[in-house]
Chain A
């Protein structure tokens, strides 16, 4: 799986949009970008994933650049409950690909009141 690079930490004001960047410059054509988050020591929580088009769900939006070498997770109106470690993971989506998720260190997002 392609390696990802994320900032170690970020801060955001409550009610504002949180934009979390991820670089995945070695991503292959069949690799998806997945985002998970982990609140304190809870289990990782799935947020969103995409291949090349931008995606939106009830939790967040995912913007993937045209060359797919980077992406941004957007939490449109961050709340204190969004304080967590956010993981960007790229995964092969083809027969024979590894099933495991490879977690990096992620970005520690702190939402401030």
Chain B
């Protein structure tokens, strides 16, 4: 069964450093998403991406964040200058069609720890 994959599973970084989280969505999917979950809190939407542009983003997704689809298979989330409060699980998701008409499938997540 096709699945979303994410690398690395755990990333440790120093405050102020840049990190790139990588995702490989399901191969025929066209819509891509990032969510995050701070330990003990709810899963929160960050951004959705289609046709090489952001289609929706939350207030969390400020100028420190960016997303990119650098090739035909990868989808990345970059945090330019990490803060302690960026420590969280980051989940990538994809769907075949627009998010409101189709099911989003999630990857296993990347645990980001900012020291």
- A-side interface residues toward B, CB under 8 Å? 34, 38, 41-46, 49, 87, 91-94, 97-105
Q: Which chain B residue lies CB-closest to A42?
A: B108
Residues of B within 8 A of A101 (CB): 35, 43, 45, 99, 104
- How would residues 44 to 59 of chain B score, 1 for a CB under 8 Å from any chain A CB and 0 otherwise? 1100100000011010
Residue of A nearest to B47 (CB): A100
B107, CB-defined interface residue at 8 Å: yes
**B10 CB to nearest chain A CB (Å):** 11
Residues in B neighbouring A45, C-beta threshold 8 A? 106
Label chain A's interface by main secondary structure. loop
Interface size on B, residues (CB 8 A): 28
Known contacts A44-B43, A93-B100, A94-B100; is-contact A100 B106 (Cβ 8 Å): no
B105's nearest neighbour on chain A, judged by CB, is A46
Cβ of B109 under 8 Å from chain A? yes
Q: How far is the CA of A49 from the CA of B89 in the complex (A)?
A: 25
Provide the main secondary structure of the chain B interface.
strand
In the bound complex, residues from chain A placing their C-beta under 8 Å from that of B58 are 100
Minimum C-beta distance from B67 to chain A (A): 14
- A49 to B104: give the CA distance in the assembly, Å: 11
Write the chain B residue with the least CB distance to A49: B103
Q: Are B109 and A42 in contact (CB under 8 A)?
A: yes
Q: Is the CB of A43 within 8 A of B109?
A: yes
Tell me the nearest residue of chain A to B44, going by C-beta.
A103
Query: B31 contacts A99, CB within 8 Å?
Result: yes
Most buried by B among A41, A43, A46, A100: A43
Contacts of B104 in A (CB 8 A): 46, 101
Are A100 and B89 in contact, with the CB atoms below 8 A? no
